[in-house]
Amino acid sequence: MARRAVVEREELFKAANTLVAEGKEVSAMAVLNELGGGSLTTIYKYLAEWEAGRSAKISPAVSEPPEVVKNAFMSTWRVATMEADREVIAAREKADEEVKAAQKQFEGALQAIQRLEADSEADNAQIEELKKRIADLEGALTASSNDKAALKATSEQLQHQVNLQQTELERLHKEIESTRNMHQEEIAQLKAQQLSAQEKSDAAVREAAELKGQVEALKAQNTELVNALSRVSEKRKA
C-alpha cells in the first residue's frame, strides 16, 4: 500500500462516520483502508479525538417514571435508583479501569507503531541509498565493460601487430642466416685465394732469391772478365 504523506483531521472523521453509517467497526486499520493509506500514528491520534467527541454526544437517556405510578412506587423507585446508581458506579469504575488498561495498551502500541514507522523511514532511506549505490555500481560496471571492450580491441590490434613483427623478424633471421652462409662461403673462397696467392708469392720470392743469386754470380763473373780484359790490355800496351 502506498503511504500518504498527510492525513487531515476532518478527512479521518468523515471516514470514521462513513464506517459507522455502513454499520462497520471503526478501527485504525478500517480507517486506514478507507483512507487508502496514511500514518498509523496520525490515524490513532485523530481516531482518539473522534471517539472522545462521539462519546460526549451520546448521553444516556434519563428514564422518568410515569406520573401514574410515581407516587405509588416512589420509595421502590428510589431503592431501585440507588441500586442502579451503585451498579452504574461499579460499572463506571470497572470501565475506567478497562479504559486505563486499554489506554496503556494503546499508548504502548502507539509507541511501538512510532518506532516501526521510524524504522520504516530509516529502512526507506537505506533502500534509497542502496538503490543509488546499485545504480552507481551498474554505471561503473557499464563503463568498465566499455573499457574492457576497448582494451580487448586494443589488445587484439597489438597482438596482430606483434604477429606481423614476429613474421617479419623470422624473415629477417632467415635472410641474415642466408647472407651469413653466403659470406662464409665467400670468406672460404677468399681464404683459399689468399692461400693460393701466398703460395705464389712465396714461390715468386724464392724465384727472385734464386735470380738474385744468379745476378750476383753473373756480376762477379763480369767483374772478373773486366779485370781480365784490363790485364790483357795492359800487357799488350806494354
| pLDDT score at 124 | 77
Distance CA 33, CA 22 (A): 14
| pLDDT score at 61 | 47
User: Residue 81 is placed in which grid cell?
Assistant: 435508583
| pLDDT score at 113 | 75
Distance CA 189, CA 205 (A): 24
Q: pLDDT in tens for each of the 238 residues of the chain?
A: 455 557 899 999 999 999 999 999 999 999 999 999 888 999 999 999 999 988 766 555 445 555 654 566 576 657 666 776 777 687 778 767 776 766 765 776 777 677 777 777 777 788 789 899 889 989 887 987 887 788 688 879 868 886 988 899 789 778 868 878 887 888 788 788 888 878 998 888 898 889 899 989 999 998 998 898 888 888 888 7
What's the chain's length in residues?
238
Half-sphere exposure of 95 (CA within 13 A, CB side): 6
Q: For the whole model, what pTM was predicted?
A: 0.33
Distance CA 65, CA 54 (A): 28
| pLDDT score at 28 | 94
| pLDDT score at 50 | 96
- Burial per residue of 11-39, b for 16 or more beta-carbon CB atoms within 10 angstroms, e otherwise: bbbebbeebeeeeeebebebbbebbeebb
